[in-house]
Chains A and B, each alone.
Chain A
Amino acid sequence: MSDIRNSTPGGEDYEPQISVASTDAVGLAAGGSAAPLPGEDKSYSQGQLVARRFFRHRAALSSMIVLGIIIVVAFTSIGIGPIPGWWPNNYTLQYDKIGDGAPTWQYPFGQDTGGKDYFALVMRGTQFSLIIAFAVGIISTVVGTLIGALAGFYRGWVESVLMRLTDVFIVIPLLVVAAVLGKTASGWGIWGLALVLGLVTWTSLARLVRGEVLSLRERDFVLAAQAVGTSPWRIISKHVLPNAVGVIIVSATLSISSAILLETSLSFLGFGVQAPDTSLGTLINDYQAAFATRPWLFWWPGLMILAIALCVNFIGDGLRDAFDPRQNRTKD
C-alpha cells in the first residue's frame, strides 16, 4: 500500500501546494542558501511535472515533431496569401507533364491530369484543412468550456438546457447536423465553415467540463472562496477552471483531430469547403476516380489526413498521461 499519499481526495490538486511547502522546507533547512544541495531532489511546479511527463512519452513527442514539420512545410512551401514560399511550382499553373505524371524529383507528389504540381495542391489543401481544424478546435473548446463550467457551477436551467442539447446530438448524428450547417455556410468561405463546425462540436467537451466542475465546486477551497465573498465569475475562472485544465487541454487536442476528419468528410460529401478553396477532402473527392490509373493523386491527401489526425491523437494521449498519471507506466 504505497497509495496513502494518493488516497487523499484529489491528491493532484494539492500537489502544487505540497511542492511549495517542500521548497520552503528546503530553504529553511539550508539556512537561506539558494541552491538545493547536490543529490537532493529538485522540486517542480505542476506545469514542469506535466511537461516532464509529456516529453518522456515517446509516441507523443515524435508525433509533435512530425506535426510540427507538416505545419511548417505546409505553410512555408507554397507561401500563404501574398507571401511567396520556397517551393518553385505554383498550384494554379499547368506544367508540361513528365510521362503520365507519376512522382518524379521535380514533382515529388506527381502531377494531376492537367499537369498541375500535386505537391503544391496538396500543401494548399493541407493549409486549409489545418486552419479549419485549429479554428474549430479553438472555437469548440472556448464554447464548450464556458457552457460546461456554467452548467456545472450554477446547475439549474443552464444544466438542463445543456443536457437536452447533448441528447439532441445523440439523436441527430454530428455529421448530419454539420452537413446541413456546412451547406448553409458554404458560401461564407472557410472561416464561416470553421465557425459553424465549432458551434456544433462543443457538446462532448461541455459534458466533460461539467462533470469536472460538478466535483470541484464541492471542494473546500471553493467553499472558502465563497465564504470570503468572491464573485462567482472569479471563482470559476481562478479556482475551478485551472483545476480542470487537464481535461480541457486533452479534449481540445482531440477535438482538433476529430475536426480534421469531420471537415474532410464533409468536403468529400460536397457540403464542406467549396471551390475555389480546397481541402484534403475535396482533393480526394476530385481524384477518387483516378485511383486505378493515377494512384498517387489518391494516396497523398489521404496519407496527409491520416498523418495529421494520428499525430494529434498521439499528442492528446501523451497529454492525458501527463495530466493524469494514474494510469501511467511507472506506478507510484
Chain B
Amino acid sequence: MLKFILRRIGASALVLLGASLLMFFLTINSGDPLKDLRESNDPNREQLMAQRSELLRLDDSPWERYWDWLSGVGGCFTGNCDLGVTINGVDVLGLTQQAAVSTLRLITVATVLAIIVGIALGILTAIRQYSGFDYSITFSAFLFFSLPVFWAATLLKEFAAIQYNNWIADGHYAPWTIVIVAVVAGFLLQAVLGGTRKRRMLTAAAVFAFVTVILFVFNALDWWRNPMFGIGGVLVVSAAAGVLVTALVAGLRNRRALYAALTTVVVGVVAYLAFAPLLVNSPSWGLLAGLFVLAVLVSVGIGAAWGGYARKQSMLVTGITGVITSLMVFADLLIAHWASFLGVKSRPISTIGSQTPNFTGGFWEQVLDMATQILLPTILLTLVSVATHSRYTRSSMLETLNQDYVRTARSKGLSEREVIVKHAFRNALIPITTIVAFDFAALIGGAVITEQVFGWKGMGALFQDGLNAVDPAPVMAFFLVTGVAAVLMNLLADIAYAALDPRIRR
C-alpha cells in the first residue's frame, strides 16, 4: 500500500512539473505585458517600459525565467519560498497566503458537501428509479449542470441574499408562507420515503402537521432572530442521528451497535457540558480541532468497548455518530451566538468579499461572519457538483443493482439494507471516486468564476489579474496552489479506490 502511494506521489510530481512548464510558457506568450505602457502618453514611457522589462526579465530567455521560478518554488522545501513579484513589484508569496486560505476553504467545503449530498441523492434516485422523485431530481440535475454559474450567481445574490436580509430584519413567516412550506415539505418527504398510497398520505400529513406547528412556534418565539438549540436539542438530534446511522450501517437488530451509538451521544453531551465554559469563554480553532479529534477517538473507543462480535462495525457506527454529535455541538454554539451576531451585522448575508472588513465581534461572531460570507458561493459550487455526482452515483448504483451478486444476496434472504449498503453501494463507490477527483478540477474552475462574481480577493482574482497583465508570477502561484490541491485530492481518491477495490493494490 505504501509503495502504491509513493509511486502515485512520484507520478503526480512529474505531472505537476510538466503542467507548470506548459502553464508558464502559455502564460508568458498570451499577450504583451507592456501593452498598457505602449499606449500611454506618459513622458517617461521609455523608462517605465525599461523598468518593467527589468522587473519581469523580459530580455532573458523564457527557459531562464522558468528555471528561476522553479528554483524559487524549490526553496519552499528548505523554508525560504520565493514565488516572485507581480508586475507592480508586490511579493506574490504574501498575496498567495492571504488568497489561498479563503479559496481553499471555499473549495473544500463545497467538495465535502457535494460528495455527501450528491452520493446520497444518487443512491435515493437509484433505489426509487422511475418514481416522481427520481424524475424531479434528474431534471434538476440536468438543469444545474446546464446552468451558467456566473449568471446563477447574480440570481442567487438577488434572491437569496438580499431578500433574506430584508426578511430577517423582521424575522416572521406569514401564515400562508408556512402553509406552502409545509405542503412542499410533506410532498417531498412522501416522494422520498415512498411506500403504499396510504403510507404516503400518512407521511405527507404527518410532515405537514409537524412543519406547520414548528414554524408557528418559531414565529411565536421570534426564533429566527433569537434562535436557540440548547443541550436538549443536541441530545435529541444526535440520538436520532445515532439511531439512523446504526440502522444504515449495522441494522437495528444489532443491539450492541445501537447501545454503543447512544452511549456515544450521551458521553458527547456530557463532555459538552464539561467543556462549555471553555468553549464559550476562550475559544480558538486549535481548541476546536483538538476537541474534535478527542471526540472522534473517544467515540471509536466506545464502539470498540461495546463492539463484541462485530467490533469494527460498532466502531464505524460510533465514529460517525461522534462526528455528528460534535457537529451538533458546534452548530449549537453558533446558533446561540446568532442573536448577538445580528446585533453586530444587521444584514447577515453579504454578497461581496470573503470576510466583512473591520468586523468587530467575538470568536463565534467571526465564525458566523465567515459562514454567512461563504454560504452563497458554496451553494452555487455545490449545486453544479451535486448534479454530476448524483447522476454518476445513480447510474453506477443501477449498474451494480443489476449484477448477479446482488440477486444472489437478495435470494439469500438478506435485508434490503444489507443488500444496498454492503453489496451494491460499496461496489458502486469504486467508479465514483474517480469522478470526484476529476470534478475537483472543475470545481477550481468554478471557484474562479464565483469569486469574481462575489468579489472575493481569492486565488481566482490573483489568476485573473495576473493573466490580464500577462504577469506570470501570480498566475503560476494560482497554478501551484490549485495544482497541489488537485494532486492531493487525486491521491486521496486513489487511496480510497485502493481501499475499496483490493485488486488495485497489487
Residues of A whose CB lies within 8 Å of any CB of B are 164, 167-177, 179-181, 183-184, 257, 261, 264-265, 268-271, 281, 284-285, 288, 291-292, 298, 301-302, 305-306, 309-310, 312-314, 317, 327, 329
With A168-B18, A171-B15, A175-B449 already in contact, the answer to whether A313 and B398 are too (CB < 8 A) is no
With A176-B448, A257-B146 already in contact, the answer to whether A184 and B29 are too (CB < 8 A) is yes
Determine the distance from Cα of A180 to Cα of B438 in the docked complex, in whole angstroms: 20
- Interface-located stretch among B231-239, B326-334, B336-344, B439-447: B439-447
13 A-B contacts, Cβ less than 8 Å apart?
A: A170-B438, A174-B445, A175-B442, A176-B479, A184-B26, A269-B452, A281-B148, A285-B150, A301-B151, A302-B152, A306-B143, A309-B148, A327-B398
Which A residues touch B486, using CB under 8 A? 170-171, 173
Tell me the minimal C-beta distance from B465 to chain A in angstroms.
11
Which B residues touch A317, using CB under 8 A? 142
Determine the distance from Cα of A327 to Cα of B134 in the docked complex, in whole angstroms: 14
Instruction: Assess the A305–B151 pair: CB atoms within 8 A.
Output: yes
Which B residues touch A302, using CB under 8 A? 148, 151-152, 155
Instruction: Assess the B31–A183 pair: CB atoms within 8 A.
Output: yes
Contact with A172, one of B19, B155, B398, B467 (Cβ below 8 angstroms): B19
Instruction: Assess the A180–B27 pair: CB atoms within 8 A.
Output: yes
Which A residues touch B143, using CB under 8 A? 306, 310
Determine the distance from Cα of A12 to Cα of B15 in the docked complex, in whole angstroms: 38
Contact with A174, one of B19, B22, B395, B441 (Cβ below 8 angstroms): B441
Give 6 closest A-B pairs by Cβ, nearest first. Answer: A175-B445, A309-B146, A302-B151, A173-B445, A310-B146, A173-B441
With A173-B441, A284-B150, A314-B142 already in contact, the answer to whether A291 and B449 are too (CB < 8 A) is no
Which A residues touch B479, using CB under 8 A? 172, 176
Instruction: Assess the A175–B467 pair: CB atoms within 8 A.
Output: no
Instruction: Assess the A288–B148 pair: CB atoms within 8 A.
Output: no
Does any Cβ of A come within 8 Å of B158's Cβ?
Answer: yes
Determine the distance from Cα of A169 to Cα of B483 in the docked complex, in whole angstroms: 10
Instruction: Assess the A176–B142 pair: CB atoms within 8 A.
Output: no
Determine the distance from Cα of A291 to Cα of B157 in the docked complex, in whole angstroms: 11
Which B residues touch A184, using CB under 8 A? 26, 29-31
Which A residues touch B15, using CB under 8 A? 164, 167-168, 170-171
Which B residues touch A169, using CB under 8 A? 441
Contact with B19, one of A171, A284, A309 (Cβ below 8 angstroms): A171
Determine the distance from Cα of A66 to Cα of B469 in the docked complex, in whole angstroms: 41
Which A residues touch B11, using CB under 8 A? 167
Tell me the minimal C-beta distance from B461 to chain A in angstroms.
11
With A170-B441, A317-B142 already in contact, the answer to whether A269 and B464 are too (CB < 8 A) is yes
Does any Cβ of A come within 8 Å of B154's Cβ?
Answer: yes
Does any Cβ of A come within 8 Å of B120's Cβ?
Answer: no
Does any Cβ of A come within 8 Å of B149's Cβ?
Answer: yes
Instruction: Assess the B442–A174 pair: CB atoms within 8 A.
Output: yes
Which A residues touch B463, using CB under 8 A? 176, 179
- Chain A residue nearest in CB terms to B446: A175
Does any Cβ of A come within 8 Å of B468's Cβ?
Answer: yes
Instruction: Assess the B26–A181 pair: CB atoms within 8 A.
Output: yes
Instruction: Assess the A298–B22 pair: CB atoms within 8 A.
Output: no
| Residue-wise interface mask of B (21-46) relative to A, using a CB-CB cutoff of 8 A (1 in contact, 0 not) | 01100110111000000000000000
How many residue pairs link A and B with beta carbons under 8 A? The number is 139
Determine the distance from Cα of A168 to Cα of B158 in the docked complex, in whole angstroms: 37
Instruction: Assess the B148–A176 pair: CB atoms within 8 A.
Output: no
Determine the distance from Cα of A317 to Cα of B394 in the docked complex, in whole angstroms: 14
Most chain A CB atoms below 10 A, which of B27, B130, B483: B483
| Residue-wise interface mask of B (119-148) relative to A, using a CB-CB cutoff of 8 A (1 in contact, 0 not) | 000000000001000000000001101111
Instruction: Assess the A173–B31 pair: CB atoms within 8 A.
Output: no
Determine the distance from Cα of A327 to Cα of B142 in the docked complex, in whole angstroms: 18
Tell me the minimal C-beta distance from B434 to chain A in angstroms.
10
Tell me the minimal C-beta distance from B163 to chain A in angstroms.
13
Which A residues touch B441, using CB under 8 A? 169-174
Tell me the minimal C-beta distance from A36 to chain B in angstroms.
34
Which B residues touch A301, using CB under 8 A? 151
Determine the distance from Cα of A276 to Cα of B437 in the docked complex, in whole angstroms: 39
Tell me the minimal C-beta distance from B25 to chain A in angstroms.
10
Determine the distance from Cα of A301 to Cα of B151 in the docked complex, in whole angstroms: 9
Tell me the minimal C-beta distance from A254 to chain B in angstroms.
10
Instruction: Assess the B142–A291 pair: CB atoms within 8 A.
Output: no
Tell me the minimal C-beta distance from A109 to chain B in angstroms.
16
Instruction: Assess the B483–A306 pair: CB atoms within 8 A.
Output: no
Does any Cβ of A come within 8 Å of B49's Cβ?
Answer: no
Does any Cβ of A come within 8 Å of B16's Cβ?
Answer: yes
Determine the distance from Cα of A261 to Cα of B387 in the docked complex, in whole angstroms: 15
Tell me the minimal C-beta distance from B428 to chain A in angstroms.
14
Contact with A270, one of B19, B395, B468 (Cβ below 8 angstroms): B468
With A175-B449, A327-B395, A327-B398 already in contact, the answer to whether A170 and B490 are too (CB < 8 A) is yes
Tell me the minimal C-beta distance from A80 to chain B in angstroms.
24
Tell me the minimal C-beta distance from B447 to chain A in angstroms.
9
Instruction: Assess the A180–B151 pair: CB atoms within 8 A.
Output: no
Determine the distance from Cα of A281 to Cα of B150 in the docked complex, in whole angstroms: 9
Which A residues touch B468, using CB under 8 A? 270
- From 399 to 452 in chain B, residues with beta carbon under 8 angstroms from any chain A beta carbon are 399, 437-438, 440-442, 444-446, 448-449, 452
Which A residues touch B102, using CB under 8 A? none
Contact with B146, one of A261, A270, A288 (Cβ below 8 angstroms): A261
Instruction: Assess the B26–A180 pair: CB atoms within 8 A.
Output: yes
Determine the distance from Cα of A176 to Cα of B382 in the docked complex, in whole angstroms: 19
Tell me the minimal C-beta distance from B464 to chain A in angstroms.
6
Determine the distance from Cα of A171 to Cα of B12 in the docked complex, in whole angstroms: 9
Determine the distance from Cα of A329 to Cα of B129 in the docked complex, in whole angstroms: 10
Does any Cβ of A come within 8 Å of B111's Cβ?
Answer: no
Tell me the minimal C-beta distance from B52 to chain A in angstroms.
19
Instruction: Assess the A171–B16 pair: CB atoms within 8 A.
Output: yes
- Chain B residue nearest in CB terms to A295: B158
Instruction: Assess the A261–B445 pair: CB atoms within 8 A.
Output: no
Does any Cβ of A come within 8 Å of B487's Cβ?
Answer: yes
Instruction: Assess the B449–A265 pair: CB atoms within 8 A.
Output: yes
Determine the distance from Cα of A162 to Cα of B236 in the docked complex, in whole angstroms: 54
Does any Cβ of A come within 8 Å of B482's Cβ?
Answer: yes
Determine the distance from Cα of A174 to Cα of B442 in the docked complex, in whole angstroms: 7
Instruction: Assess the B445–A288 pair: CB atoms within 8 A.
Output: no
- From 470 to 506 in chain B, residues with beta carbon under 8 angstroms from any chain A beta carbon are 475, 478-479, 482-483, 486-487, 490
Instruction: Assess the A261–B22 pair: CB atoms within 8 A.
Output: no
Which A residues touch B154, using CB under 8 A? 288, 291, 298
Which B residues touch A164, using CB under 8 A? 15, 18
Contact with B445, one of A176, A284, A306 (Cβ below 8 angstroms): A176
Instruction: Assess the B151–A313 pair: CB atoms within 8 A.
Output: no
Instruction: Assess the B150–A265 pair: CB atoms within 8 A.
Output: yes
Known pairs A175-B444, A175-B446, A288-B154; list 4 more (Cβ under 8 Å).
A175-B442, A179-B467, A309-B146, A313-B142
Which A residues touch B478, using CB under 8 A? 176
